[in-house]
Amino acid sequence: MKQTARIFAVPPAPVSRLAKISKESTRDKVYAAVRGAILSGRLRCGERVKEIPLAEELGVSRAILREAMQQLVHEGLLEFNPYRGARVIELRPEQIDEIVEARLLLETRAVRLACERIHDAQRDELHALEKQLRKEKDALRAGQLDLRLHQRIWEISGHVTIEKLLRQLTSPLFAMSLLMRSAESRKDQEASPLPRGTHERLVASICEGSPADAAREIETHLTENWTAIRRRVAEFVARQEAEKL
Amino acid sequence: MKQTARIFAVPPAPVSRLAKISKESTRDKVYAAVRGAILSGRLRCGERVKEIPLAEELGVSRAILREAMQQLVHEGLLEFNPYRGARVIELRPEQIDEIVEARLLLETRAVRLACERIHDAQRDELHALEKQLRKEKDALRAGQLDLRLHQRIWEISGHVTIEKLLRQLTSPLFAMSLLMRSAESRKDQEASPLPRGTHERLVASICEGSPADAAREIETHLTENWTAIRRRVAEFVARQEAEKL
DNA sequence: GATTGTAGTATTGTCGACAATTAGACAATG
DNA sequence: CATTGTCTAATTGTCGACAATACTACAATC
- Residue closest to B152 by CA, chosen among B180, B181, B119: B119
Nearest CA in chain B to A66: B67
Same-domain check for residues A106 and A208: yes
Same-domain check for residues B68 and B110: no
**B18 part of a folded domain:** no
DSSP classification of residue B14: T
Instruction: Check: CB of residue B84 under 8 Å from CB of residue B49.
Output: no
Same-domain check for residues B50 and B132: no
Instruction: Check: CB of residue A233 under 8 Å from CB of residue A93.
Output: yes
Asked if the Cβ of residue B61 lies within 7 A of any atom of strand D, the reply is yes
Q: In angstroms, what separates the C-alpha of B144 from chain A's closest C-alpha?
A: 24
CATH of the domain at B53: 1.10.10.10
Q: Choose among A71, A81, A95: nearest Cβ to B70.
A: A71
Same-domain check for residues A75 and A125: no
How far is residue B217's CA from residue B203's CA, in Å, rounded to a whole number?
9
Contacts of B99 in chain A (CB under 8 A): 161
Please provide the average confidence, as pLDDT, over all residues in chain B. Answer: 87
Q: Sort residue B49 into left (φ over 0), alpha (ψ -120 to 50) or beta.
A: beta
How far is residue A16's CA from residue B81's CA, in Å, rounded to a whole number?
16
Same-domain check for residues B196 and B230: yes
- Residue closest to A102 by CA, chosen among A110, A113, A90: A110
- Give residue B189's pLDDT: 59
Which amino acid does the sequence have at B63? Answer: A
Same-domain check for residues B165 and B138: yes
**A148 part of a folded domain:** yes
Largest CA distance in chain B: 61
Residue B55 has pLDDT above 60, yes or no: yes
CATH of the domain at B97: 1.20.120.530
Same-domain check for residues B143 and B171: yes
Asked if the Cβ of residue B49 lies within 7 A of any atom of strand C, the reply is yes
Contacts of A105 in chain B (CB under 8 A): 105-106, 109
Instruction: Tell me the average pLDDT across B91-114.
Output: 97
- Give residue A239's pLDDT: 85
CA A114 to chain centre: 20
- Give residue A36's pLDDT: 95
- Give residue B139's pLDDT: 85
Contacts of B82 in chain A (CB under 8 A): 22-25
Helices (H), strands (E): how many in chain B? Answer: 10, 3
Q: In angstroms, what separates the C-alpha of A204 from chain B's closest C-alpha?
A: 25
**pLDDT band, residue B16 (cuts 50/70/90):** very low
Cβ distance A98 to B159 less than 8 Å, yes or no, reads yes
**A21 part of a folded domain:** no
Which amino acid does the sequence have at A179? Answer: L
Residue B193 has pLDDT above 80, yes or no: no
Q: Which residue has the higher pLDDT, B5 or B219?
A: B219
H/E element holding A78?
strand A78-81
How far is residue B206's CA from residue B115's CA, in Å, rounded to a whole number?
5
- Give residue B149's pLDDT: 96
Same-domain check for residues A237 and A120: yes
**A173 part of a folded domain:** yes
Domain that holds residue A60: 26-88
- What is the sign of the dihedral through the CA atoms of B226, B230, B232 and B236? positive
Contacts of B172 in chain A (CB under 8 A): none
User: If you write DSSP's letter for every residue of B54-89 in order, what string do you get?
Assistant: HHHHHTS-HHHHHHHHHHHHHHTSEEEETTTEEEE-
- Give residue B197's pLDDT: 81
How far is residue B66's CA from residue B58's CA, in Å, rounded to a whole number?
12
Residue B15 has pLDDT above 50, yes or no: no
- Give residue A23's pLDDT: 65
Instruction: Tell me the average pLDDT across B153-168.
Output: 97
User: Cα-atom radius of gyration of chain B, to the nearest Å?
Assistant: 19
- Give residue B7's pLDDT: 45
Same-domain check for residues A209 and A226: yes
Which amino acid does the sequence have at B235? Answer: E
DSSP classification of residue A7: S
Of A88, A108, A124, the position where a domain reaches its end is A88
Of A100-104, B21-25, B191-195, highest mean pLDDT: A100-104
The three-class DSSP label of residue B171 is helix
- Integer CA distances (angstroms), A211 to A202, A203, B85, B132, in order: 10, 11, 42, 44
**pLDDT band, residue B12 (cuts 50/70/90):** very low
Of A88, A116, A134, the position where a domain reaches its end is A88
From first to last of its 245 residues, chain A has per-residue pLDDT tens of 333 333 444 343 333 334 445 567 889 999 999 999 999 999 999 999 999 999 999 999 999 999 999 999 999 999 999 999 999 999 999 999 999 999 999 999 999 999 999 999 999 999 999 999 999 888 888 999 999 999 999 999 999 999 999 999 999 999 999 999 887 766 565 555 556 688 999 999 999 999 999 999 999 999 998 998 899 999 998 887 777 65
Beta pairing partners, A48: A87
Same-domain check for residues B100 and B75: no
Nearest CA in chain A to B84: A22
How far is residue A51's CA from residue A56's CA, in Å, rounded to a whole number?
8
Same-domain check for residues B33 and B127: no
How many structural domains does chain A have? 2
**pLDDT band, residue B5 (cuts 50/70/90):** very low
Of A44, A62, A88, the position where a domain reaches its end is A88
**B114 part of a folded domain:** yes
Q: Does B169 touch chain A (CB under 8 A)?
A: yes
Residue A23: which nucleotide is closest by CA–C1'? D21
**B129 part of a folded domain:** yes
